[in-house]
Chain A
Amino acid sequence: MRYGMVIDLKRCVGCYGCQLSCKAENGTPPGVLFARLAKREFGCFPDTQLVFLPLLCFHCAEAPCVSVCPTGASHYREGGVVDIDAEACVGCRACMQACPYGARYFNEDQREYFPGQGLTPYEEARYSDANRGIVMKCNFCIDRVNAGLEPACVANCAARARVFGDLDDPESEVWRLIETRGGAPLEPELGTKPSVYYLPP
């Protein structure tokens, strides 16, 4: 069993739904984006191009962030999911330098979204002091997955551009899409063996 995700760049419309639903699900503070959408415009009118690239932790099978962690806080969970033990992280940020995909964020202090007005009831409920001074990242919403649900970004993708499943199962939808559409991970030459594949636009 190896959890993985396929993102269809042909279907992605750059609506930021993944980014927002992830924030709602995980209650991440400002400056921490487990899922984010990189968007870039190229060219000059009328010859222009708009490129979207939804990004998240790629849960690499050979994750460099795990091997550089001095405490073992970065670790593999069931299904090859890379997660952080918030109680063990010392906030050295070595994993951030090791990750080639920019999937990790340092939560220096607990910031509110509306400065000067204190934490909103939502923020009070969702923020945890255990996350202060440590690195945070996506864990494929593993609690949802264990409960039989899809990760929030998959469940809330309006264009159904994201598919979640078992990369080791030849019968799975992710396997079929990668095989038939020629899915490829980002920067495969780095040798990290990511579990997130992109289908060409």
Chain B
Amino acid sequence: MSTTTLRQAQGGAYDRLLADLGATFRPQRQWVEGRGLLLIIGHFLSGVGAGAWLFALAFDQRAGLAAATATVALAGVFHLLFLGRPERFWRMFRAKSSWIARGFVGMNLFVPGALLYFVFPDGYVGGAFLAVSLLGAAILIVYKGNVYAASKGVPFWNSPLLPVLYAAYALRGGGAALLVLLPFAKDGADEATVGLIELWIGLSAAVMLGFYLGVMRNATRAAQRSVAELMHGRVALVFYLGTLGAGLVVPIAAGVVGLAAPLSEAVLAVVACFSLGGDFFAKYAIAKAGVYVPLMPTLGEGARPPR
């Protein structure tokens, strides 16, 4: 007879669940670990895709329009793969109060709209497709932050600042994606202008991230704990190297250098890759740092994570 125990068979997952349930600050795992990583990738791609589409539209960059549409479609696939029951995706049209449903509507407006606009860009028909695509892109840019902000169980996310931060990251990711494309397909975009906009949004994102963390540091104890997880807890490495280093310091420093001496397309593309990586790790770190509202009395246990 097998002597395998439930705990052994589940590779520690059962133990971890029990430990989480007993912890004062229960970590959020569903949207960041295991298949939850697919959701982070989906959120990242949908933001970057929608942002890149807006930049490509502004600079009349046909290759950018196509790549951005494909990116958002790929994001949709990642979203579906994350679901426990992906075959029921069609039920998510209940847009009454759910930001997930609104995002789903946005994706279903954007992908066909942008595809048709790419094929038929002229005339009234093109204008109609453009309007639908713009609406879809706008929804895609704002929905993710609102999905997190509606999560009352995770105080670190439950803030009106998060949708603004995520929208900024989506726009910045869009600019970065276009910079990556420029060496391969330069239709109408000027790398210096895109680089300048990218620098401006990057600085804005840095200020917003600092502001967001500053506010959360003085919010509820669970939010304080999440900030502590980012600063010197289990997410610190990703936060410092990915979110801050690759995502903010390198792009902003390169952008400032670029103001004095123009950078080559190749260098800009590399910097943009750092920026994209930083955007991904920002979403990952913010999701990973989330902890639930503590239910048990803590009797003096601090918000600082154990070292």
A contact set with B: CB distance below 8 Å: 30-31, 33, 36, 38-40, 42, 49, 51, 53, 55, 64, 67-73, 88-94, 96-102, 106-108, 111, 113-117, 132-135, 186-187, 190, 192
Across the A-B interface, give the 9 residue pairs with the lowest CB-CB distance, nearest first: A91-B84, A115-B9, A133-B84, A97-B151, A116-B2, A70-B101, A70-B100, A71-B91, A70-B98
C-alpha gap A190/B151 in the complex (Å): 12
The answer to the question of B83 belonging to the interface, with a C-beta cut-off of 8 Å to chain A, is yes
Q: A90-B83, A94-B98, A134-B84 are in contact. Are A36 and B21 (CB under 8 A)?
A: yes
**What are the residues of chain A within 8 A of B307 when measuring CB–CB?**
none
Cross-chain contact B293 with A67 (CB below 8 angstroms): no
Cross-chain contact B92 with A101 (CB below 8 angstroms): no
**What are the residues of chain A within 8 A of B98 when measuring CB–CB?**
67-70, 94
C-alpha gap A100/B154 in the complex (Å): 7
Interface residues of B in 10-43 (CB under 8 A from A): 10, 13-14, 17, 21-22, 26, 28, 30-31, 35
Q: Which residue of A lies closest to B94 (CB)?
A: A72
The answer to the question of B218 belonging to the interface, with a C-beta cut-off of 8 Å to chain A, is no
**What are the residues of chain A within 8 A of B22 when measuring CB–CB?**
38-40
Cross-chain contact B6 with A90 (CB below 8 angstroms): no
Best-buried of A31, A38, A135 by chain B (most CB within 10 Å) = A31
Interface size class of B (residues with CB under 8 A): 35 or more
**What are the residues of chain B within 8 A of A98 when measuring CB–CB?**
150-153
Cross-chain contact B30 with A97 (CB below 8 angstroms): yes
C-alpha gap A33/B18 in the complex (Å): 10
Best-buried of A55, A90, A106 by chain B (most CB within 10 Å) = A90
Cross-chain contact A117 with B84 (CB below 8 angstroms): no
Cross-chain contact A192 with B152 (CB below 8 angstroms): yes
Cross-chain contact B83 with A117 (CB below 8 angstroms): no
**Beyond known contacts A36-B21, A90-B91, A97-B30: 17 more, CB 8 A cutoff:** A31-B14, A39-B22, A40-B22, A68-B97, A70-B91, A70-B101, A71-B92, A72-B91, A91-B84, A94-B150, A97-B157, A98-B150, A102-B153, A115-B8, A116-B4, A133-B84, A192-B152
**What are the residues of chain A within 8 A of B306 when measuring CB–CB?**
none
Per a CB cutoff under 8 Å, which of A38, A111, A135 touches B21?
A38
Cross-chain contact B292 with A134 (CB below 8 angstroms): no
The answer to the question of B261 belonging to the interface, with a C-beta cut-off of 8 Å to chain A, is no
**What are the residues of chain A within 8 A of B94 when measuring CB–CB?**
69-72
The answer to the question of B192 belonging to the interface, with a C-beta cut-off of 8 Å to chain A, is no
Cross-chain contact B14 with A100 (CB below 8 angstroms): no
A-B contact pairs, 18 of them (CB 8 A): A31-B17, A38-B296, A39-B22, A42-B299, A51-B296, A55-B295, A69-B94, A70-B101, A90-B92, A92-B92, A99-B152, A100-B292, A101-B153, A102-B21, A108-B35, A115-B2, A116-B4, A133-B84
Q: A69-B98, A91-B84, A190-B293 are in contact. Are A116 and B9 (CB under 8 A)?
A: yes
C-alpha gap A21/B4 in the complex (Å): 25
Q: Which residue of A lies closest to B101 (CB)?
A: A70
C-alpha gap A133/B30 in the complex (Å): 12
**What are the residues of chain B within 8 A of A90 when measuring CB–CB?**
83-86, 88-89, 91-92
C-alpha gap A70/B96 in the complex (Å): 8
Cross-chain contact A190 with B152 (CB below 8 angstroms): yes
Distance (Å) between the CB of B147 and the closest chain A CB?
7
Cross-chain contact B153 with A92 (CB below 8 angstroms): no
C-alpha gap A163/B156 in the complex (Å): 35
Q: Mark B273-287, 1 if CB is under 8 A from A, else 0.
A: 000000000000000
The answer to the question of B297 belonging to the interface, with a C-beta cut-off of 8 Å to chain A, is yes
Distance (Å) between the CB of B289 and the closest chain A CB?
13
Cross-chain contact A106 with B17 (CB below 8 angstroms): no
The answer to the question of B193 belonging to the interface, with a C-beta cut-off of 8 Å to chain A, is no
Q: Mark B143-175, 1 if CB is under 8 A from A, else 0.
A: 000011011111001000000000000000000
The answer to the question of B44 belonging to the interface, with a C-beta cut-off of 8 Å to chain A, is no
Distance (Å) between the CB of B291 and the closest chain A CB?
11
Cross-chain contact A106 with B30 (CB below 8 angstroms): yes
Q: Which residue of B lies closest to A189 (CB)?
A: B220
